[in-house]
């Protein structure tokens, strides 16, 4: 949710400044805000051999331009909730002092303890792949990953797929089949693909497999994501979005 709020704010603000004043003003406008940046989607000592190997394989695929690595960023922009106020007029957003503590859920744990992941996007195939290692603080059944933690990562992967192809969104419906438990600290591959678009509704499929692809851990059946501000987002936009966050 945080990632989504953050993204909506940044994107909406970027659009409005870009259209009225041009991109130089856009960058200047953001430069006065206090932003802390670190790319969490790069290898760190907590990454297992499997995660590093997969990461390297996907980085290799990026060399011909078919896949893109999506960097992460940790950004604290106090006003990021404002654009949501305009969409959800009757909702009561959190107070300013609470906002300063806000951060994307999946990036809120210490290194290696929670969600370790990297995302890759294939524009032609409208696919997103997330390489995910769930750390010890995400335990559900003893020794296994919590289903809610996996749901979070599925939602995030679907979200990145949707935002990359279509624009800003909210998840309206998400059904997950848990087929085989995931050992804690192991690595899985979450693949999502845009299937169809009906008006503002985006249907994205998703499955979660073991590294050797032999085990299907989970799949999400016909999740529906609703686009808030329809816009065709190109990779250039995503880069712009990330550079604004830094």
92 or 214: CB nearest ligand PKZ: 92
Among residues 155, 195, 219, 222, which one is catalytic? 155
Q: Least separation, in Å, of the C-beta of 143 and ligand PKZ? A: 27
- CB of 53: closest distance to ligand PKZ in angstroms? 23
Is residue 215 within 8 Å of residue 208, measured between CB atoms?
Answer: no
Whether 155 sits among the annotated catalytic residues: the reply is yes
Query: How many whole angstroms separate alpha carbon 24 and alpha carbon 32?
Result: 13
SS3 assignment, position 96:
helix
Of 171 and 207, nearer to ligand PKZ (C-beta) is 171
DSSP string, 159-173: HHHHHHHTEEEEEEE
φ, ψ of residue 8 to 5 degrees: the values are -60, -45
User: What does the longest C-alpha to C-alpha distance in the chain come to?
Assistant: 55
Q: Which of 35, 170 has the CB closer to ligand PKZ?
A: 170
Cα 102–chain centre separation: 16
3-class state of residue 110 by DSSP: coil
The residues binding ligand PKZ (CB under 6 A) are 1, 3-4, 7, 70, 155-156, 159-160, 163-164, 170-173, 199-201, 224, 226, 238, 241
Q: Are 168 and 229 in contact (CB under 8 A)?
A: yes
Residue 80 C-beta: closest distance to ligand PKZ, Å? 11
CB 237 within 8 A of CB 229: no
- At its nearest, how many Å lie between ligand PKZ and the CB of residue 211? 23
Considering the complex, state which of residue 53 and residue 233 has its C-beta at the smaller distance from ligand PKZ: 233
The answer to whether residues 165 and 121 touch, using CB atoms and an 8 Å cutoff, is: no
Q: Which position has the token pair 């999502």?
A: 192
Q: Whole-number minimum distance, CB 234 to ligand PKZ, in Å? A: 11
Instruction: Pick between residue 53 and residue 226 the one whose CB is nearest to ligand PKZ.
Output: 226
Active site (catalytic) residues: 155
């Amino acid at each position: 949710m945080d990632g989504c709020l953050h993204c909506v704010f940044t994107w909406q603000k970027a659009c409005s400044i870009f259209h009225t004043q041009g991109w130089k003003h856009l960058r200047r406008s953001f430069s006065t805000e206090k932003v802390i940046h670190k790319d969490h989607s790069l290898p760190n000592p907590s990454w297992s051999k499997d995660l590093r190997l997969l990461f390297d394989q996907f980085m290799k695929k990026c060399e011909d331009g078919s896949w893109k690595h999506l960097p992460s960023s940790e950004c604290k922009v106090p006003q990021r909730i404002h654009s949501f106020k305009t969409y959800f007029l009757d909702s009561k957003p959190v107070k300013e002092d609470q906002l300063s503590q806000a951060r994307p859920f999946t990036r809120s744990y210490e290194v290696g303890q929670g969600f370790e992941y990297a995302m890759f996007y294939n524009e032609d195939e409208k696919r997103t792949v997330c390489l995910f290692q769930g750390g010890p603080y995400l335990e559900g059944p003893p020794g296994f990953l919590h289903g809610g933690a996996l749901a979070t990562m599925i939602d995030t992967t679907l979200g990145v797929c949707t935002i990359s192809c279509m624009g800003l969104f909210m998840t309206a419906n998400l059904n997950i089949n848990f087929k085989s438990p995931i050992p804690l600290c192991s690595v899985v591959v979450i693949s999502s693909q845009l299937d169809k678009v009906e008006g503002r509704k985006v249907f994205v499929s998703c499955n979660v497999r073991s590294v050797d692809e032999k085990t299907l851990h989970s799949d999400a059946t016909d999740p529906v994501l609703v686009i808030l501000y329809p816009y065709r987002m190109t990779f250039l936009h995503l880069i712009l979005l990330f550079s604004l966050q830094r």
